[in-house]
Structure 1
Amino acid sequence: MNEAITQAFQERISEDDLLNCMKCGFCLPACPTYVETQDEVHSPRGRISLMMAVRDGEIDDVHEVEESLNVCLGCRACEPACPAGVNYGEMLEEARAIFYEHKDVPLQEKALRKTTLNMLFTDQEKMGKATSLLRFYQRSGLQKTARKLKVMNFFPDHMQQMERVLPDVPKRSKQYREVTFPSETAHTKATAAMFKGCLMDTLFHKTNQSTITLLNRAGCDVVVPDTQGCCGALHGHSGEKAGAKELAKQNIQAFEQADVDYIITNAGGCGAFLHDYDHLLKNDPEWAERAKAFTDKIVDFSTVLMKLDFANEMPLNIDQQIITYQDSCHLRNVLGVADAPRKLIQAIEGAHYIEMPHADQCCGSAGIYNLTQPDMSMQILDHKMENVDTTRATTIVTTNPGCLLQMKLGIERTEQTDTMHAVHLADLLLEAISTDG
């Protein structure tokens, strides 16, 4: 197997890309797993060295390399820190795909992947039904009964805490059927197509509605293409590159007919993967140009609100509170959005904004990382909450569903549910408008 993996590395991961890493170490303080372990095996330059060794056939046990790559959060904080511009994220996903394609996947893992990645996340109707079951669990009394009988005690501590912080699932809505939500201003300033996502359109449907309302108030027409699907990030990050490509093509086709200025996202993880469609399909002659045209329009909703001067034109007011902001890694490191969310928060009267130390470092969520690497995830989260506490914040704002759940989990773990809460930026801004009105 080693020979096959070595050959795949030689064919699919450029030696020049690997050699771009100068081993300077600028990435080390930016890398959460290195900060936690102080182990070069868990640093970006260490992992690149391991990839090079696999490519050169110098490693006997490639499983140790695979484990190092799996421990990586994929936050890509090393990229903006790198003076040589190494495309670490691209090499990481290619390496993970090679390992996945060349290993004997256990039957249990195959079944889990088929159920989640190939059935649930590729079918919005199934995703809706799955979240409806969760809603039934929450509303029927089953949740109270399960807690009373201490059923969750059979699960690890972090799983018990996750169950407690899951948001109330909203009633399923069929309003997004290729519909346009018109601007609420006298003159339309921009047009946008909304990427609704999987979890965002089910578990966090309210946040999608908040985002559309904010854009409408800012003077933007919003259309929601009906044939769009999952962004493919979970597939791409877990080595299933072929599945990610199919989802990318589906989404590109869904948005091609929309004559819009922007394709809007409100989930940093989804937005970053959509932004990388041009790289994902760069070797496909039929789709490369179409992917580039698609990615050129990808933008976070906070950026559009700032462009439309939302913060200056819309009165924003909330009850007095201390607010801090946790960056979505992919929003900051891939899409380059860091200032817009902060400026929008600071524009709210009543919001006393305090910058969190190391807000730009990962919270430990990273898609499903908190499920696959729970020990490292919780270690990172616990240190994140120490940074939150220095701000004395009562509100933590995020711009990604995974980050939001992770910060809620952090609040639960530190027993601060009575004094602190986490909220998506879109919901906070809408609350600020409603409070004013």
Structure 2
Amino acid sequence: MSTESKKQEMIIDWQNRMDQDEMLNCMRCGFCLPSCPTYEESGFQESQSPRGRIALMKGVADGLIEPDEKVEESLNQCLGCRACEPVCPSGVKYGHLLEEVRDVVNQNKTHSFPEKVIRHGVFYELFPHQNRMRMAVGFLGLYQRTGLQKAVRKTKLLNRLPEPMGTMEKVLPQVPKMRDMKNRPVHYHTENPQKRVAFFSGCLMDTMFMSTNDATAKLLQKAGCDIVIPESQACCGALHGHSGEKEKAKAMAKRNIEAFEELNVDYIVTNAGGCGAFLIDYGHLLKDEPEWTERAETFAGKLKDMSTVLMELDFPGRGYRLPAQVITYQDSCHLKNVMHTTTEPRQLIQSIQGTEYKEMKDAGRCCGSAGIYNIVESEMSMKILDSKMINAKAAKAATIVTTNPGCLLQMKLGIEREGLTDQVRAVHLADLLLEAVEYEEKEVSSV
């Protein structure tokens, strides 16, 4: 098929699939502009704003603009942070438009052979299969524990990688051993439980960040939750949904709905903002499949972030403490803008006795991680991170708390880039709270 024929097919698909009403809801008022990191960091280019990107989508759908490389570049450079949605007077669901148009572009694009191999490997052969995720992370663990990591660093091979990737290697967590990842509990019993919850363990969260999942389970137990973890659950599908692999995202959504819907639980709990935001949107993802829509809405109706559950069960009232330190918080974009959870993490942090909480300026502004954005759009990502670190340093905090694995790695990357590793740390909220629990228990036992 000729390039021109392929382009015409894309335009027809674009016109058929893009929600005209949603695009027309954009009044071009500009309220979204101050909230958009790429608009600011690009020098206020209209094509790098939500309003500008919707205008491009509408222009292609109306036959006024060709879907060329410049249009695709504008769409790809969007972080998908969805900070534009809460400030939009018309309530435009920009994130839904972005995911749909990226799928249209991807499904009608001719990928090079290396791109096809990489996309197939990542989206179809790795992330949907938790056993393969364990194996991949297990190899990373061997790299860290066998001395190979030290040898590679001595040879300075990492210096030949693009700067963000080379630095990222330094901030990866110490990953668990393969046998520990395989031998995961499926039920955490609690005496006299107040709530029975199911835990969405995720793919990376239950491998590379397994200790954070363990911390989350312990906190929920302390708060009075009986916890069940269905073994048949899958990756949430966010990476696929954001990268133009909508059908695969749907398949994983259905698998997760089936895994959780027969459980007699009060809540489905997540501890990763990016996962939670995609899970709670399953109703929209499956809106064209009536037999799944209601099941998806029921699933989403039970979904809560761990911070919300802990606050509901009065976790702060237990009086945990840590040594004196200043703590600040960096919002997960999706936890804030999609799940609308902002006060609960802050309340939990502020409840830790012996510490001082200091709000970071523009804490709700994206840090530039956005899934794999910091790899595929590293230049813009690093500009956004550099701006974020200005505010992080101004807070003069010893601990930066986040609620999403991508944000956590990005903040660690920023700390490393700024040469602050001996002064500042970045931790997930669950790890900080468990640290406070264990510190208080140790203090009590030593009296």
Normalising by the smaller structure, the TM-score range is over 0.9
- 1:214-225 map, 5 Å: 214-225=219-230
Partner of 2:356: 352
Contact between 1:6 and 1:56, CA under 8 Å: does it hold in 2? no
8 A Cα contact 1:183 1:215, kept in partner: no
| 2:300 equivalent to 1:295 | yes
Give the aligned partner of residue 205 of structure 1: 210
- Mapped contact 2:60–2:67 kept (Cα < 8 A): no
Distance 1:230 1:59 in 2: 36
Q: What displacement does 1:285 show?
A: 2.0
Q: C-alpha distance in 2, partners of 1:416/1:310?
A: 32
Partner of 2:190: 183
Q: What TM-score do the two structures reach when normalised by structure 1?
A: 0.98
- Alignment partner of 1:331 is 2:339: no
Aligned to 1:320: 324
- The whole-number CA distance in structure 1 between the counterparts of 2:10 and 2:306 is 41
The reply to whether residue 372 of structure 1 matches residue 372 of structure 2 is no
User: 1:71-82 alignment to 2 at 5 Å?
Assistant: 71-82=77-88
Alignment counterpart, residue 62 of structure 2, candidates 56, 80, 90? 56
Aligned-pair distance for 1:3? 2.5
CA contact (8 A) 2:389 2:414 kept: yes
Tell me which residue corresponds to 1:96: 102
**Long gaps (5+) in structure 1:** none
In structure 1, what is the equivalent of residue 153 of structure 2?
A: 147
- Matches of 1:361 and 1:227 in 2, distance apart? 35
Aligned residue number for residue 388 of structure 2 = 384
Q: Deviations over 1:388-435 (max 9, x none)?
A: 011101100000000000000000000000000000000000000000
Once the two structures are superposed, the pairs formed by residues 215-254 of structure 1 within 5 Å of their partners are: 215-254=220-259
State the Cα distance separating 1:61 from its structure 2 match. 4.8
Instruction: Give the secondary structure class of the aligned counterpart of 1:25.
Output: coil
Match for 1:75: what amino acid? Answer: C
What is the CA–CA distance in structure 2 between the aligned matches of 1:61 and 1:103, rounded to whole Å? 11
Match of 2:269 in 1: 264
Tell me the amino acid that sits aligned with residue 200 of structure 1.
M
Secondary structure at the counterpart of residue 287 of structure 2: coil
The Cα shift of 1:2 comes to 3.2
* Residue correspondence of structure 1 range 38-53 to structure 2 within 5 A: 38-53=44-59
Q: For 1:263-305, what per-residue CA distance to the aligned partner results, in whole angstroms no more than 9, with x for missing partners?
A: 1000000000001111000111221111111111111000000
Partner of 1:68: 74
Q: Of 358, 365, 375, which aligns to 1:361?
A: 365
Asked if structure 1 preserves the Cα contact closer than 8 Å seen for 2:216 and 2:271, the reply is: yes
Instruction: Tell whether the 8 Å contact from 1:77 to 1:333 is kept in structure 2 after alignment.
Output: yes
Rounded to whole Å, the distance in 2 between the matches of 1:125 and 1:60 is: 43
Residue identity in the other structure for 1:277: Y
1:401 corresponding residue in structure 2 = 405
**Is the partner of 2:316 in helix, strand or coil?**
helix
Residue 168 of structure 2 aligns with an amino acid whose one-letter code is M
- Among candidates 236, 239, 255, match of residue 260 of structure 2: 255
d(CA) in 2 for partners of 1:295 and 1:176?
Answer: 25
CA distance in 1, matches of 2:12, 2:21: 16
Q: Which amino acid aligns with 1:35?
A: E
- Percent identity of equivalent pairs: 56
Query: 1: CA distance between counterparts of 2:239 and 2:295?
Result: 22
Contact 2:237 2:252 in 1 (8 A): yes
2:424 matched to which residue of 1?
Answer: 420
One-letter amino acid of the structure 2 residue matched with residue 348 of structure 1: I
CA shift for structure 1 position 71 = 0.1
For the residue of structure 1 that corresponds to 2:400, the secondary structure is strand
The SS at the match of 1:299 is strand
Q: Which one of the candidate residues 312, 327, 350 is aligned to 1:307?
A: 312
- For 2:3, the equivalent position in structure 1 comes to none
**In the alignment, is residue 28 of structure 1 matched against residue 33 of structure 2?**
yes
Letter in 1 for 2:92: V
Is 1:85 matched up with 2:85?
A: no
Q: Is the 8 A contact 1:324 1:396 kept in 2?
A: yes
Matched residue, 1:108: 114
Instruction: Name the SS for the 1:81 alignment partner.
Output: coil
Find the aligned partners of 1:32 and 1:230 in 2 and give their Cα distance.
Answer: 28
8 Å Cα contact 2:331/2:364 also seen in 1: yes
Q: Which amino acid aligns with 2:190?
A: S
Consecutive aligned runs of 4 or more in structure 1 exceeding 4 Å deviation: none
Look up the SS of the partner of 2:427 in the other structure: strand
**Does 2:229 match 1:192?**
no
Tell whether the 8 Å contact from 2:223 to 2:313 is kept in structure 1 after alignment: yes
Equivalent in the alignment of 1:169: 175
* Contact 2:11–2:67, Cα closer than 8 Å, also in 1: no
Stretch moving more, 284-293 or 267-276: 284-293
User: Is it true that 1:410 corresponds to 2:417 in the alignment?
Assistant: no
In the alignment, the residues of structure 2 paired with residue 175 and residue 157 of structure 1 have an alpha-carbon distance, to the nearest angstrom, of 36
Amino acid in structure 2 at the alignment position of 1:405: L
Contact 1:176 1:224 in 2 (8 A): no
